[in-house]
């Protein structure tokens, strides 16, 4: 989501004459787009700001001004505290107000020139009007694009800061999503990943502005699948209780919907899931997986785990280990519980000591990593469609993704960049695969034929 937001901030600033640079010393403006989900996000922010302060001062000696902005969920959570602790910060803005950046930049410039009293602009409102209605049209970058369809969350898991920083659940209307997808498809994008903190809770208006005309993610996916040029659809991140039958059905009958789903489980213990306020039990999760496999037998899952949530006993943790063995996720993200200020989990009794959290995390990760390696190894010798979307490090090499998001390194001609081609997988590593292009059968066919086969 932050990658998408950062791109949109760049889009907003383009008409003002800004272009992106990778070098902070060259930048007239630096925006730190922050995440507050885990760890000591605020501390990381202030240490980064310290480095930027030096750059700002150095540039000022040469008579050049630098605007420093802090965006994202740490900005939302810390607000005015940031300007208080780091008065050289010019702008603090939340994730729902970045469409107003041009106005903020203008005010910051006036303040820097001494034409305005107040320094340090703060805009962390949750405006009534969604930002999406005020953003310029997207521009396609690359072959795989994120498309934000839903934001915020009303679930209030007791460990999670998202409902406080991103705000209430909101779905973009169908037309807006379809139009954005058409724009990026026309610009060459082949794969779209629909984004939302709770993406499968999506319930957009099918007629913009007409309340009651709502439909869910399954229907949205069916409509997106009709757009020419889009060969792959994905969505992330989902909540198990929002896996509606209609969405599950889409996995069975939308060919471009990839057979891979990120479905966080968090814990293998019903007792802990209840303390986490997850609204589902392990059996509910199991039922969803069974339904998905019934319509799409080649479906694979990835997941998120939190270890050391307050009150997690040895028995609870053992249940998580067993669950990891049972479901054999082909990929997983696992974290030590990190108390987030303002969330119910942070004030629960029985916080787990860090050393025990680390021990549990290492044990769980051993199983999760082994599952991933096993899957990668099982894939060797199979032929899969790969979307080449990156240049490889070696000469003549391209890197692409399988339907299961595994990166594959392949010797391939440059014309294949941005194309989907059949690849025979030849080697497996922990985090990637090696493969060879299958050209023989299609050698005389035009590229579109290869695409047809793979799509
Ligand atoms: N501590 C540790 N992990 C967390 N996550 C969210 N909040 C916390 C927290 N306070 C993890 C969850 C979620 C993923 C995005 O981050 O597993 O699914
Ligand atoms: Fe956070 Fe996801 Fe729970 Fe919402 S459903 S509170 S975003 S973990």
What are 17-49's pLDDT values in tens digits? 999 998 989 999 999 999 999 888 888 999 999
Q: Which two tokens stand for residue 94?
A: 């939340």
Enumerate the β-bridge partners of residue 34: 72
Among 417, 397, 369, 345, which residue's Cα sits nearest to residue 163?
Answer: 345
Tell me what the pLDDT averaged over the chain comes to.
Answer: 93
Question: For 260-272, how does the pLDDT look when each residue is reduced to its tens digit (9 = 90+)?
Answer: 999 999 999 999 9
Query: In a 3-state reduction of DSSP, which class is residue 191?
Result: strand
Mutation probe of ligand 2 site: the residue of 235, 239, 273 with most atoms within 8 A of C-beta: 239
Tokens at residue 277, please?
Answer: 């306020």
Assign 158 to helix, strand or coil: coil
Q: Residue 446 — pLDDT band, cuts 50, 70, 90?
A: very low
Q: Which residue is associated with the tokens 């902005």?
A: 69
Superfamily for domain range 2-123: Methylthiotransferase, N-terminal domain (3.40.50.12160)
> Is the pLDDT assigned to residue 116 strictly greater than 90?
no
The mean pLDDT of 146-161, rounded to a whole number, is: 96
| Res 118: pLDDT | 64
How far, in Å, CA of 200 to CA of 336, rounded? Answer: 25
CA 73 to centroid of ligand 2, rounded, Å: 14
CA distance 42 to 35: 9
State residue 442's pLDDT score. Answer: 46
Residue 141 binned pLDDT confidence (cut-offs 50, 70, 90): confident
Give me the pLDDT at residue 117, please: 55
Protein residue with least CA distance to atom 18, ligand 1: 304
Ligand 2 atom with the smallest distance to the CA of 153 is 4
CATH fold match for the domains 2-123 and 137-258:
no
CA of 37 to the centre of ligand 1 (A): 6
Do the Cβ atoms of 95 and 72 come closer than 8 Å? yes
Place of tokens 């305005």: 116
What is the CA(76)–ligand 2 centre distance, in A?
A: 17
Question: Cα of 372 to ligand 2 centre, how many Å?
Answer: 25
Q: Which-ligand-closest: CA of 156? A: 2
Residue 447 has pLDDT above 50, yes or no: no
Question: In the predicted model, is pLDDT for residue 452 greater than 60?
Answer: no
Residue 109: partners with Cβ closer than 8 Å, 6 or more residues away: 65, 67
Nearest ligand 2 atom to alpha carbon 166: 7
Average the pLDDT over 309-320 and give the result. 98
Expressed in angstroms and rounded, the spacing between residue 154 Cα and the centre of ligand 2 is 8
Domain ranges of the chain: 2-123, 137-258, 262-379, 380-454
Ligand 2 pocket, residues with Cβ under 6 angstroms: 153, 155-157, 160, 162-163, 197-198, 239
Could you tell me the pTM of the whole model?
Answer: 0.92
CATH topology of domain 380-454: OB fold (Dihydrolipoamide Acetyltransferase, E2P) (2.40.50)
Ligand 1: which residues within 6 Å by Cβ? 37-38, 159-160, 264, 266, 304, 306, 335, 337-338, 340
The packing angle between helices 282-295 and 245-253, to 10°, is 30
**Positive or negative: CA dihedral 182, 188, 191, 196:** negative
Token pair of 317 as six digits: 């943790």
Q: Which residues contact 334 (CB under 8 A, 6 or more apart)?
A: 304, 305, 306, 307, 361, 364, 365, 368
Distance 160 CA to ligand 1 centre (A): 6
Q: Which of 35, 38, 73, 307 to mutate to test the pocket of ligand 1 (most atoms within 8 A of CB)?
A: 38
Q: CA 454, CA 162: separation in Å to the nearest integer?
A: 38
Which tokens in the block code for residue 152?
């915020």
344 CA from centroid of ligand 2 (Å) = 13
For residue 395, the 8-state DSSP code is T
* Model confidence band, residue 441 (pLDDT cutoffs 50, 70, 90): very low
Of all protein residues, whose CA lies closest to atom 9 belonging to ligand 1?
Answer: 338
**86 in the Ramachandran plot: left (φ > 0), alpha (ψ -120 to 50) or beta?**
beta
CB 270 within 8 A of CB 240: no
CATH number (1.10.287.130, 3.30.750.210, 1.20.1540.10, 3.30.360.10) of 137-258 reads: 3.30.750.210
- Token digits of residue 150: 């839903």
Please report which helix (H) or strand (E) contains residue 184, including its range: helix 174-186
Which CATH number is correct for 262-379, 2.30.110.10, 3.40.50.2300, 3.30.750.200, 3.40.50.720? 3.30.750.200
Query: How many angstroms does the Cα of residue 321 sit away from the middle of ligand 1?
Result: 18
Distances (CA, A) of 202 to 90, 93, 170, 235, 292: 35, 25, 8, 11, 19
| 16 three-state secondary structure | helix
Atom of ligand 1 nearest to the CA of 305: 17
Closest residue by Cα to residue 29 from 98, 126, 113, 108: 108
**pLDDT-based confidence at 129, cuts 50/70/90?**
confident
Position with higher pLDDT, 452 vs 2: 2
Radius of gyration of the chain (CA): 23
Q: Give the closest residue (by CA) to ligand 1 atom 7.
A: 160
What is the mean predicted confidence (pLDDT) over 55-70?
94
Mean pLDDT on 81-94: 95
- Distance between CA atoms of 133 and 325, rounded to whole angstroms? 45
């Amino acid at each position: 989501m932050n990658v998408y937001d950062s791109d949109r901030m760049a889009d907003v600033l383009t008409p003002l004459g800004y272009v992106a640079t990778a070098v902070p010393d060259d930048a007239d403006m630096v925006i730190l787009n922050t995440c507050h989900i885990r760890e000591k996000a605020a501390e990381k922010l202030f240490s980064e700001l310290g480095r930027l302060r030096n750059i700002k001062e150095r540039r000022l000696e040469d008579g050049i001004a630098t605007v420093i902005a802090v965006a994202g969920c740490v900005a939302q959570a810390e607000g005015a505290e940031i300007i208080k602790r780091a008065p050289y910060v010019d702008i603090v803005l939340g994730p729902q107000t970045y469409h107003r950046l041009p106005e903020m930049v203008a005010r910051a410039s006036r303040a820097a020139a001494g034409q305005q009293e107040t320094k340090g602009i703060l805009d962390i409102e949750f405006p009534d009007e969604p930002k999406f209605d005020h953003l310029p049209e997207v521009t396609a970058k690359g072959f795989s694009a994120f498309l934000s369809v839903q934001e915020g969350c009303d679930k209030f898991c007791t460990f999670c800061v998202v409902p406080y920083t991103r705000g209430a659940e909101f779905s973009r209307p169908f037309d807006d999503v379809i139009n954005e997808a058409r724009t990026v498809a026309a610009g060459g994008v082949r794969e779209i990943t629909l984004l939302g903190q709770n993406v499968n809770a999506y319930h957009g208006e099918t007629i913009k502005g007409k309340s009651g005309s709502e439909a869910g993610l399954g229907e949205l996916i069916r409509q997106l699948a009709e757009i020419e040029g889009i060969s792959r659809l994905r969505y992330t991140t989902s909540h198990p209780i929002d896996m509606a039958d209609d969405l599950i059905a889409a996995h069975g009958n939308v060919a471009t919907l990839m057979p891979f789903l990120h479905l966080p489980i968090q814990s293998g213990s019903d007792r802990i899931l209840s303390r986490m306020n997850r609204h589902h039990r392990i059996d509910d999760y199991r039922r969803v997986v069974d339904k998905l496999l019934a319509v799409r037998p080649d479906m694979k899952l990835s997941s998120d785990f939190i270890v050391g949530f307050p009150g997690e006993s040895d028995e609870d943790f053992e249940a998580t280990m067993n669950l990891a063995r049972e479901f054999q996720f082909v990929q997983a993200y696992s974290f030590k519980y990190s108390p987030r200020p303002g969330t119910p989990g942070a004030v629960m009794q029985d916080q787990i000591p860090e050393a025990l959290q680390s021990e549990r995390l290492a044990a769980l990760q051993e199983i999760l990593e082994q599952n991933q390696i096993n899957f990668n190894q099982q894939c060797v010798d199979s032929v899969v469609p790969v979307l080449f979307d990156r240049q490889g490090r070696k000469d003549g090499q391209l890197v692409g993704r399988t339907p299961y998001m595994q990166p594959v390194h392949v010797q391939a001609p440059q014309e294949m960049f941005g194309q989907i081609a059949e690849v025979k997988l030849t080697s497996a590593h922990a985090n990637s695969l090696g493969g060879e292009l299958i050209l023989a059968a299609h050698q005389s066919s035009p590229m579109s034929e290869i695409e047809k086969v793979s799509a």
